[in-house]
Structure 1
């Protein structure tokens, strides 16, 4: 009998060409290498993992996160930042790192990498579509008064009676992190599977993990009990 206290969902974050070597404009080292592990999770039967969500950065060409869109003064990707202001409340703002042009809508760089088995994905969420606002999290941007965008992910998870959210994908220190942290804020148990992510700044990963765990995210190992809980049902049937 299914455990009503454990109804998991998988969120696969931004496994897109622009985030992967060798040609991605914002390539994360070894980003492509995590696809086989993610595919193992995606292949789990719906009785074990009923909801499998994939996200895409889906930026317009004039997106505020692109350094090239800041010309007065000119800004450098990776090195410079910009202040992002709530379009509905000028008193609310935050500072965000600037990036190369990436994942522009309807371009090859915004496509899922071919190594990702998309046949098992139940829902796809586009994020970062507002040119005026950065959005790392699959839930919403970090603007609250008022909230300027909402992907509907929280409502989708609740409609499926989700209790635990497993997060994998790219990049661990940005979109994966923000998604997992917002999952906790929305009341879910959130796991980041460490082997299923890679970071823009791998040297900062340990500090990033500590900060996530301080909010309540659990960074777990593939061989740990949290992932084994997902896999054990299929192992009994000899399907993994």
Structure 2
């Protein structure tokens, strides 16, 4: 099979970035020049994803009763609406990336003109959805069309960048690999909510077959060679 790489830029949105983001990742804006360099490369497809939540989303601490409603501290158990036997414990967050708000917008400095497709996720108020592919349940109730889009484009390899390294980038990369794409995460083009968690994240990548690379890695040069 020929090499057809796609770039997936995860959630480079105002609410995930300083100075005013509701859930700002330290250094979140600093990766944009690197991402713009990647967007200029001859990928067969370039996708940007967006968290795009309704105001009553289950991941917002504000939608849970006290005392279990402290952002970054409290958790909640979510049942799969299609199979209540499937549950997950999820972190609760400040309200963020609410549809129609400034916080949900992609950063103005991101070169969106080079993006072929935007995928909105997290729109089902009943479930958390870090991955740009689907919610984490074995039988998902909320899925995007990202896997179909990549397959229809004949994509073989998925390169992942964006925010945050320990949440939406992590689960998007793992799901890309699970969907049959050879998956590469570009380390310098990501930032984490909790950098101390990255060893665990990278161990999970290794176990799943996802490869962490640098922006000057031979796998990036391979994309450049398509020009």
Specify the TM-score bucket, using the shorter chain as the normaliser: over 0.9
Tell me how far 1:206 sits from its aligned partner: 2.0
* Bigger radius of gyration among the two: 1
Runs of 5+ in structure 2 lacking a partner?
A: none
CA distance in 1, matches of 2:165, 2:93: 16
1:159 aligns with 2:152: yes
- How many residues of Structure 1 are paired with residues of Structure 2 in the alignment? 227
Within 5 Å, give how 1:137-176 maps onto structure 2.
137-145=131-139, 147-176=140-169
Match of residue 204, structure 2, among 199, 208, 211: 211
Distance 1:188 1:85 in 2: 29
Q: In 1, distance between residues paired with 2:40 and 2:217?
A: 19
* Runs of 4+ that moved beyond 3 A: none
Give the Cα–Cα distance (whole angstroms) in 2 for the partners of residues 215 and 84 of structure 1: 25
CA distance in 1 between partners of 2:98 and 2:39 (Å) = 26
Secondary structure of the corresponding residue to residue 206 of structure 1: helix
Question: Is 2:16 aligned against 1:23?
Answer: no
How is 1:123-142 mapped onto 2 (pairs within 5 angstroms)? 123-142=117-136
The answer as to 2:176 corresponding to 1:183 is yes
Match of 2:40 in 1: 43
Given that residues 195 and 222 in structure 1 are in contact (C-alpha distance below 8 angstroms), is that contact kept between their aligned partners in structure 2?
yes
Instruction: Output the TM-score relative to the length of structure 2.
Output: 0.97
Cα RMSD (Å) of the superposition? 1.1
* Cα deviation code 1:51-110 (max 9, x no counterpart): 101000000000000111111543211111111111111111111111111000010000
Rounded to whole Å, the distance in 1 between the matches of 2:224 and 2:86 is 44
Structure 1: give runs of 5+ residues left out of the alignment.
Answer: 235-240
Conserved? CA contact 1:17–1:111, under 8 Å: yes
Name the SS of the counterpart of 1:101 in structure 2. coil
